């Protein structure tokens, strides 16, 4: 079953979005279906205040452009209000526990929280200690909101997810982890092409393989061949030490026009942004006609609105 065959139910069987490990194909399709509808309504200027009067706490231990703006705009467009909480401004930055923060926010009656932080365990502790839905806006292990926006973009381009080959090239990071899970569960073929020592977590690879077609290789030519989507991310994630050895290992994996030519003729390029032109991607690729990076950036807004609506409007 592909997305166009799915009959929406208006709900998902989930309390939080911490990763996509526990999300079924139907849960993901439900989010994508609503995201497409919300995008349509916004383009038509139709109000969609599904979360009128609701409050979303936005907890940031890592800085952001797309995550902050898309969540703030998203909750407002849904009729709710954001409360921005930087760890530099609240007591988390001075050693207060996640658990104490969650219990305090619960007493103030918030309706949901998004957390963008380093440790996956912080997002999990927030969900366990609070009495509100928690959305993972990014951790070192997972970036589920990005992956949902990405496969939404793939569907818009190709009209299907089943059988679409997406090749992720570069460092096997949190984005790669979430793409493997989202893609495998929706019938895509996901190939992670990484140099030795930069592969994604083996545990997550094995988990994703249980749901669909996932493979890891260091052969760039083979990975790009037949791909419908070539995807990359920065070589060094926020907070990582910049190692000359790692940079040298990743340098041959830059997505250039020559690499794009190895893929299908109608292949597109994707990147979660921010991008470093001349490092993980050539300027002629990211700024060229095959690039869809701003389509996927926009879809962060719509996918996250769908997640908020489904989790916070029980």
Active site residue 146: yes
Token pair 């769908």 in the structure block, residue? 306
What tokens does 173 get?
């990071």
Beta strands at 165-169 and 134-138: parallel, antiparallel or unpaired = unpaired
- Catalytic-role residue among 145, 272, 302, 304: 272
What tokens does 70 get?
């898309």
Active site residue 94: no
- Catalytic-role residue among 68, 141, 233, 271: 233
Residue ranges of alpha helices (H) inside the chain are 25-43, 66-77, 98-107, 120-129, 144-158, 174-185, 202-209, 220-224, 244-250, 257-260, 283-286, 293-312
Residues 303/149, Cβ–Cβ less than 8 Å:
yes
- Catalytic-role residue among 16, 48, 228, 300: 300
Active site residue 14: no
- Catalytic-role residue among 143, 228, 292, 302: 143
Active site residue 192: no
Residues 115/85, Cβ–Cβ less than 8 Å:
no
| H or E stretch covering 168 | strand 165-169
Cα 99 to Cα 26, 68, 91, 272, distances in angstroms: 31, 23, 12, 31
Give the integer Cα–Cα distance in Å for 157 and 153: 6
Beta partners for residue 81, in sequence order: 55
Residues 230/169, Cβ–Cβ less than 8 Å:
yes
Q: Is 151 exposed, middle or buried (0-12, 13-18, 19+ CB in 10 A)?
A: buried
- Catalytic-role residue among 25, 66, 140, 146: 146
Active site residue 300: yes
CA 92 from chain centre, in angstroms, equals: 25
135, 132, 185, 209 alpha-carbon torsion, rounded to 10°: 80
- Catalytic-role residue among 16, 33, 68, 116: 116
What tokens does 212 get?
């669909």
Q: Show which residues are catalytic.
A: 116, 143, 146, 233, 272, 300
């Amino acid at each position: 079953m592909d997305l166009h065959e799915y009959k929406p139910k208006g709900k998902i069987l989930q309390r939080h979005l911490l990763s996509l490990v526990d999300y079924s194909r139907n849960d993901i399709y439900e989010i994508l279906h609503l995201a497409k509808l919300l995008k349509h309504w916004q383009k038509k200027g139709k109000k969609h205040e599904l979360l009128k009067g609701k409050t979303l706490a936005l907890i940031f231990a890592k800085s952001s452009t797309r995550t902050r703006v898309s969540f703030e705009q998203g909750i407002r467009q849904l009729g709710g209000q954001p409360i921005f909480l930087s760890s530099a401004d609240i007591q988390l930055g001075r050693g207060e526990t996640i658990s104490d923060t969650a219990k305090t926010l619960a007493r103030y009656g918030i309706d949901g929280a998004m957390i963008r932080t380093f440790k996956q365990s912080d997002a999990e502790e927030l969900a366990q200690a609070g009495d509100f839905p928690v959305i993972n806006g990014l951790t070192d292990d997972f970036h589920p909101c990005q992956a949902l926006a990405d496969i939404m973009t793939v569907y818009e381009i190709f009209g299907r997810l089943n059988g679409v080959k997406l090749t992720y090239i570069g460092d096997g990071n949190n984005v790669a982890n979430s793409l493997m899970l989202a893609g495998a569960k929706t019938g895509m073929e996901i190939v992670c092409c990484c140099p030795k020592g930069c592969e994604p977590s083996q545990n997550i690879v094995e988990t994703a393989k249980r749901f669909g077609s996932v493979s890891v290789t260091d052969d760039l030519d083979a990975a790009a061949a037949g791909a419908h989507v070539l995807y990359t991310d920065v070589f060094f994630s926020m907070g990582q030490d910049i190692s000359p050895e790692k940079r040298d290992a990743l340098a041959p994996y830059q997505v250039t026009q020559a690499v794009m030519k190895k893929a299908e003729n109608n292949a597109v390029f994707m990147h979660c942004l921010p991008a470093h032109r001349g490092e993980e991607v050539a300027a002629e690729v990211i700024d060229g006609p095959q690039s869809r990076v701003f389509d996927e950036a926009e879809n962060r807004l719509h996918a996250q609105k769908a997640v908020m609506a489904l989790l916070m409007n029980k």
